[in-house]
Chains A and B, each alone.
Chain A
């Protein structure tokens, strides 16, 4: 053991012979190293934001659309598009839809096996249902469309009832619990079937439906209909089956505020029942606009269901007013000017699209 002989007042770390306190001597390059660290942290911060943005990019609700050479998409009017013609795992569907309903756990189910979206309920004693609802909401100036199908043979000879439903419901349910909606349904009961159009009002559950239109209940009622709906949620509702307008009224009192979500739904009692949906889309209820044409050019769009024509105005814009049931499809666009006709085949168009002609 050692002790200091003079421990009282000497500084604990005396100066060195060079006249500098080595302990307090600043390290060479210390400032540069500290600045380098600051740059490093800044880089980490930038990378953090970029990685977060990249990881949180949500899958789009409509697939990318390839356009033929000479056409570019300036604006897309397609809000949602799901053909359901490819098998899709449920966990992928759940990025765009929520599955829920009044049926007990294990009774309702959803499957997309490439032959449409099947929404089903297993046999259960009470009236209950299951649905796939879009996470995205749209409207009021949009058109809703789906190819709806119920099982080909009407059910219910043994007493059961089944219903295939496409509902366009106010998304305000999320905040105020109101479940106001317009509905197109295919009812199957007592061995017969019928199609109905209605408007429903309720709070949280058990909405009351006002039936606005109904076909007679009959055994040979069609099991499949391409259904198109347009509504403002307040006074106006128009429904098409295929290209045929079956209901239109602009003096309703529905109190169904926009935006809306689509419910692809099944209801049933005492029988297992399956609703099938294909070619589901939602698009702006607006014309297809073609820009970049010369004044006076004739523009035609052959939708497969008919030809829509327009003439380019002084701004070079042609407005193609496609009927609501055909607002989304694949067609041929033709531009006729003094030098001849240009055709663009396999144009995947939608209402509200703005297509720019390039490379004259």
Chain B
């Protein structure tokens, strides 16, 4: 190494020149003393050190240093490094359509439901013991895999970008594979409690629930890498093939399909799709040309855990808001679980409003990261924070407004339109009997979508603690409201909890996101 050090007692011209070279090294063409002060501060210069260099404070030091900058900054570098504004346009229909691809497994599942009259997620099971087992297993799978998927999504893209195959393998083991192990253990525990201790359901449905929990979790985890890699076409192919097999099975069965045969093949198809996803993940999606740092530079396990923990905890709280109302509707507060068909049907239909909201979330977030921030960074210097914040706030308000408009249209379509589909699709024929439940669930999911939108934008700003706080506040509100409304019956208690939980989540997330955008600065890329 060629560097050497001097004690922190230097004064006079030498220290000023060192500071000037330092500033030019970081910012070859600072516009004014303010920008110089910002750079100096980021380089560790404090008021005490400014006084040691003979200045009253950091700003005074910055003015003196700014005067020395021309000595170290050539006109060429000034010209070369001057901000050049990149073109940027707001996210449009194409971005929204790309966002819809995120929901492709879900959309394929819905199409299967309508075409075949059956669902991959077993909301139309005529046998109570099967419905109980599979919906409980689904709840456990969503709840347990949520944290691992969030953690993987955040960290894997970082190591893919870094080109570190070794760390990618490590993070996959500690998120996706560990998630599968933990979910399997949770499902086994549920199986032992229900089949062994409580003797609930039947032996075969208890085993079915175990299989359903593991396979649904595996599919969730298996699809995670596809989302990280934006492999939407592949997701569509895999899920579409699974749906095609299911539809073929239903059509081939003629006028009667044994519900046990149906659910058995649903679960097996989910497991098969999960297996294909896992194999594709390992051999294709997460195969990168490694130019990675040697192990010396890799973070320890505890450091890794600290980095992903906020995302994992957020995932747990978010999926708790999704899942707990289903459990409450089954009688969780009375210490039991019986599949609540009206709530499952209405909430299963109402949750469709998340499709356009999710698309808008993806469009706004990806646009912000991939185009809008580079454009802003090319236009603004650190000295132009005020203008920059105005732009950021304008973007945030416009995207939130668009989300609201989409939500109103989607909500109206669901509340007014879907009960009329009952005549065409027998699976929806009971929907018109529960208009209040449908409207309340729709409002709940619209609020949930709003919270999700704000959370994803906050994640894009590398501010995970705020969505974490919002999601847990929502979770707390959900539990409190459900308990408070328990006297009115499981379905009402569930929907009150959903609306309250999602409402608090959305409210806190909007407030925190607004605050984050209002205080935005140009150091967004500080962490990953």
Contacts and interface: CB of A to CB of B under 8 A. Distances in A.
A5 B203 contact: no
B293 A23 contact: yes
Contacts of B203: 59, 91-92, 95
Contacts, number: 169
A98 B282 contact: no
B25 A8 contact: yes
Interface string B266-306: 01100110111011011100010011111111000000000
B527 interface: no
A26 B296 CA distance: 12
A18 interface: no
Contacts of A14: 1-2
Contact of A5 (B5, B257, B272): B5
Contacts of B268: 49, 52-53, 56
Contacts of A91: 129, 199, 201-203
Interface in B382-423: none
Contacts of A171: 255-256
A259 to B, nearest CB: 5
A33 B129 CA distance: 45
A55 B210 contact: yes
B215 A37 contact: no
Nearest to A134: B258
Given A25-B294, A27-B166, A175-B426, A92 B282 contact: no
Given A8-B24, A42-B282, A172-B255, A95 B205 contact: yes
Contact of B166 (A25, A33, A257): A33
Contacts of B1: 14
B44 interface: yes
B279 A45 contact: yes
B214 A5 contact: no
Contacts of A259: 254-256
B4 interface: yes
Interface in B123-175: 126-127, 129, 165-166, 169, 172-173
Nearest to B10: A3
B57 interface: no
Contacts of A41: 177, 278-279, 281-282
Interface in A1-42: 1-10, 14, 22-27, 30, 33-34, 37-38, 40-42
A208 interface: no
B320 interface: no
A45 B255 contact: no
Contacts of A1: 8, 44
B291 A37 contact: no
B6 A3 contact: yes
A51 B214 contact: yes
B3 interface: yes
B218 interface: yes
A94 interface: yes
B44 to A, nearest CB: 7
Nearest to B275: A45
A26 B165 CA distance: 10
B204 interface: yes
A30 B297 CA distance: 15
B208 A56 contact: yes
B21 interface: yes
Contacts of B295: 27
Interface in B490-519: none
B260 interface: yes
Nearest to B22: A7
B83 interface: no
A52 B276 CA distance: 14
Contacts of A58: 204, 260-261, 264
Interface in B167-193: 169, 172-173, 177, 180
A153 B290 CA distance: 85
A26 B294 CA distance: 7
Given A14-B1, A24-B291, A34-B169, A7 B6 contact: no
Contacts of B259: 135, 174
Nearest to B266: A56
Contact of A24 (B5, B207, B293): B293
A39 to B, nearest CB: 8
Contacts of A6: 2-3
B169 A52 contact: no
A4 B3 contact: yes
B211 interface: yes
B178 to A, nearest CB: 12
A203 to B, nearest CB: 13
A94 B205 CA distance: 9
A284 B259 CA distance: 22
A175 B4 CA distance: 83
B8 A3 contact: yes
Contact of B18 (A3, A51, A53): A3
Contacts of B255: 170-172, 175-176, 257, 259
B117 interface: yes
Contacts of A3: 5-6, 8, 18, 22, 44
B215 A52 contact: yes
A95 B202 CA distance: 6
Interface in B40-87: 44, 72
Contacts of B201: 91, 94
Contact of B21 (A8, A25, A48, A94): A8
B525 to A, nearest CB: 16
Contacts of A52: 211, 214-215, 267-268, 271
A49 B271 contact: yes
Contacts of B283: 38, 42
A61 to B, nearest CB: 10
A38 B202 contact: no
Contacts of A56: 207-208, 211, 264, 267-268
A58 B25 CA distance: 71
Interface in A167-186: 170-172, 174-176
A216 B257 CA distance: 40
A74 interface: no
Residue in B117, B129, B211, B426 with the greatest tally of chain A CB atoms within 10 Å: B211
B260 A33 contact: no
Which 7 pairs between the two chains have the least Cβ-Cβ distance?
Answer: A171-B256, A8-B25, A52-B271, A45-B275, A55-B211, A41-B282, A172-B255
29 contacts: A3-B18, A5-B5, A8-B72, A22-B296, A24-B293, A30-B165, A30-B166, A34-B165, A37-B169, A41-B177, A41-B279, A44-B177, A44-B180, A46-B275, A48-B215, A48-B218, A48-B278, A49-B271, A49-B275, A52-B271, A56-B268, A58-B261, A91-B129, A91-B202, A94-B127, A94-B205, A171-B256, A175-B117, A257-B255
Interface of A: 1-10, 14, 22-27, 30, 33-34, 37-38, 40-42, 44-46, 48-49, 51-53, 55-56, 58-59, 91-92, 94-95, 98, 135-137, 170-172, 174-176, 257, 259, 261
Given A5-B3, A49-B275, 8 more contacts: A3-B18, A8-B21, A24-B291, A26-B291, A52-B271, A56-B211, A95-B202, A172-B256
